[in-house]
Chain A
């Protein structure tokens, strides 16, 4: 294998790692917020289920771009540029604690890199609209509607039940539904990395045309996403678990069950939706179903802006990285060096305001209000 192939495989596994820690919140943020599970236990369960999920199916791995770009135009350098765009956008959104779609970041990166390498004709814009943009708008609405309806019915049914036992019951249910989301996430998202690595191996002549992913590719992809999940994107977990709405076990159960159903139903019908958008929509829906005013719409608006920016931002970074990478091995190594430097910078910036398993459930601290100076009249009144 030549240097470029090895660099692309390592970069694909790095993307898989960021995909894991970026998306831990999808399954486990609500369970951590309601203290149904201790943070470390939650991410460990999610990591194991992501690894198991990676072995369940390889159907998605056979097409990495889902028809968004002309697969014949994809070269290892283009894939590398796309991966760099996706990784950097994942890191930026992680740093500011916003749950954005890793799949859309990968698609955006690939679109940008393909466009710069092969021209606009190589990008299927109609498919981008039907497979990315419309689902991005529809998926949180569908998940939110299901969660809001479920939450309303749930509260109506359990209004007169024993409070403590009810909370315990929904905590257990929440763990099961969150675990199902983790399994579905591993089954869907790990396959994208398998697809990337398999395609690179085919273009390098290591595998035959129409080959599926070899076992070592399945295992390393599953392991990378599981490790990323175990490290936990604590910043995004805090946003989804605490900053969108105040989550109780009943809400967590309704949100995760709705998310799991929407993800599984759409995957079964061959219409994959973003796990991140589905889960965020479900959490918001569970807040709406309980009490409309409990949703922090300012935070929800920031998340929606991040979703809107994901595709073009990752495409811009992917195009830039792809432009340098297609110039040859030296270009690839330069882009790899810049990627490592920027990733290190983001990590160091995150250390200034560290969020981890110890403080992920801390309430946001609001600045203290200044004490009003006693007025002349109040002084005389004393």
Chain B
């Protein structure tokens, strides 16, 4: 019996790095876009720099989604 442990390990590592990477990048984007005071309330509109950093994070996540769709073809 030839159990493909190597393939399962590859799936785990790929999912951990790619899935975890997208989650972290998106979380960073949301975090940067949501400055808060000590009570967790919004402190107003984010600065242009914050918007730019968030846009970059979301763009990379969007590219990852695009690559995911590409792998289906």
Evaluate whether A254 and B23 lie within 8 angstroms (CB atoms) in the complex, with A162-B34, A162-B43 already known. yes
In the complex, A146 Cα to B17 Cα: how many Å? 9
Determine if B24 and A150 form an interchain contact, defined as CB atoms under 8 angstroms apart: yes
Determine if A142 and B15 form an interchain contact, defined as CB atoms under 8 angstroms apart: yes
Min CB distance B7 to A, Å, is: 5
Interface residue count for B (Cβ, 8 Å)? 39
Mark each residue of chain A from 131 to 172: 1 if its CB lies under 8 Å from any CB of chain B, else 0.
000110010001101100111011001101111111001100
Determine if B73 and A262 form an interchain contact, defined as CB atoms under 8 angstroms apart: no
Per DSSP, chain B at the interface is helix
Interface residue count for A (Cβ, 8 Å)? 52
In the complex, A176 Cα to B66 Cα: how many Å? 11
Contact of B15 among A157, A176, A265, A270 (CB under 8 A): A265
21 CB-based A-B contacts, threshold 8 Å = A130-B1, A142-B15, A146-B20, A151-B23, A154-B23, A161-B34, A162-B43, A163-B40, A164-B42, A165-B33, A165-B34, A169-B26, A180-B65, A257-B19, A260-B19, A261-B14, A261-B22, A261-B68, A262-B15, A267-B71, A268-B71
In the complex, A253 Cα to B27 Cα: how many Å? 10
In the complex, A346 Cα to B31 Cα: how many Å? 48
Q: Is A266 an interface residue (CB 8 A)?
A: yes
Determine if A265 and B36 form an interchain contact, defined as CB atoms under 8 angstroms apart: no
Q: Is B49 an interface residue (CB 8 A)?
A: no
Residues of A in contact with B (beta carbons under 8 Å apart): 53, 56-57, 126, 129-130, 134-135, 138, 142-143, 145-146, 149-151, 153-154, 157-158, 160-166, 169-170, 173, 176-177, 180, 183-184, 187, 253-254, 257-258, 260-262, 264-271, 273
In the complex, A169 Cα to B18 Cα: how many Å? 20
Determine if A149 and B65 form an interchain contact, defined as CB atoms under 8 angstroms apart: no
Q: In the complex, what residue of chain A is closest to B44 when comparing beta carbons?
A: A162
Q: Is B8 an interface residue (CB 8 A)?
A: yes
